[in-house]
Amino acid sequence: MAGVQNKLSPQVYLLTDFWESVKDAHPVIFTFIRDGIPLYDRGTFMPWKSLLRMGKLKPSPEAIDMFMSMGDKTVKRVKTALLDTVVNEVFWGVTTPSQALLMLYGLPPTTAKHGLVNDMKRIFVDKEKMLEKKYINILEKVVELWRDYEHEKIKEISGVEVDKLLKDSEDYIKRLKELREQIEKSAQQKTIEQIYQDVFSLLKSMFGNKSQDALIEEFEKQLVKKAKFAPQHLRILKDIVHARAEFKKGKSDSHKIDEARKSASIFINDIIEYNQRCELIYKNSEKSKKPDKSEKKEDKK
């Protein structure tokens, strides 16, 4: 009947709701009555279909006014929706990654509307010299736009402004991805250098202020070959030196740095424990050499 093969699109309405729409001459309902095919009708739908065909289903003046007024509000609704979408999407799309990088750097998350711009400038522009000032300007403009929108200082935004805002935001986010790599590399460098300094400071306290190779040689000769430390400790020591050298050549990665950190923790703990045992043995031996006070008195007598 409908000329559609193996596909139906049934529309279900309460009779009361449908009748209200008929009285209001809703365009969708008129189309529904004109083109719809009733599969089951108890003398309601087909009479409406006939009345519409005869032109006797007419909208009331109130319905006409209502439908006309919807056209008047279209431009305002579109402008409001555009402004709301652009401001919210750009604001959170720019500020959230910025907060993430501050957290990656080691700072607690700051308020997007207030402290974010100052923290980004203070850390990555002034202190670390990692980020160019122009990107802080972009972030500042986005935050100012949000504040103006929040305080209803702006009511609409033009297409030119949207294009400029999106272009700046795209550039800013792209630069943040590069900044992330810089931060991670800087953190890795600090980590491997700290590991190296901690380990060799302990070795220097044991064997004196010698070169790296001499300290490794002394460690192997005095501790590993005498079975005071396992060969695994010598391997860890050499791995730390190798990881530091590889990082300086740009051949290391976060996984290798993390492995070096874990191994160094084991090495440092074992060295500290060994030194503590040595100190305890030394104190006990010194104590045993000192004569008892009562024995001194007997000797004097």
Distance, C-alpha 150 to centroid of its chain: 25
Those residues with Cβ within 8 angstroms of residue 175's Cβ, 6 or more apart along the chain or in another chain: 131, 132, 135
Maximum Cα interatomic distance, the chain, rounded to a whole number of Å: 142
Looking at every residue in the chain, the average pLDDT score rounds to: 83
pLDDT of residue 89: 94
Q: Please, what is the end-to-end C-alpha distance for the chain in angstroms?
A: 134
User: What mean pLDDT do residues 241-265 have?
Assistant: 81
Highest-pLDDT range among 27-36, 175-184, 271-280 = 175-184
Q: What 3-state DSSP class applies to 152? A: coil
Tell me: the pLDDT tens digits for 277-296? 888 876 777 666 666 555 55
**248: closest CA among 174, 199, 185, 159?**
185
Say if residue 167 is exposed, middle or buried (CB neighbours under 10 Å; 0-12, 13-18, 19+).
exposed
Residue with tokens 């500042």: 140
Tokens of 121: 């400038």
pLDDT of residue 94: 94
What percent of the chain has a predicted confidence (pLDDT) above 70? 86
Residue with tokens 């070959």: 225
Tokens of 285: 């031996």
pLDDT of residue 299: 54
Global confidence as pTM: 0.58
Return the domain boundaries, the chain.
15-71, 74-157, 187-288
Phi, psi of 124 (to 5 degrees): -90, -20
Highest-pLDDT range among 127-136, 203-212, 242-251 = 127-136
Answer yes or no: is pLDDT of 131 > 90: yes
pLDDT of residue 227: 87
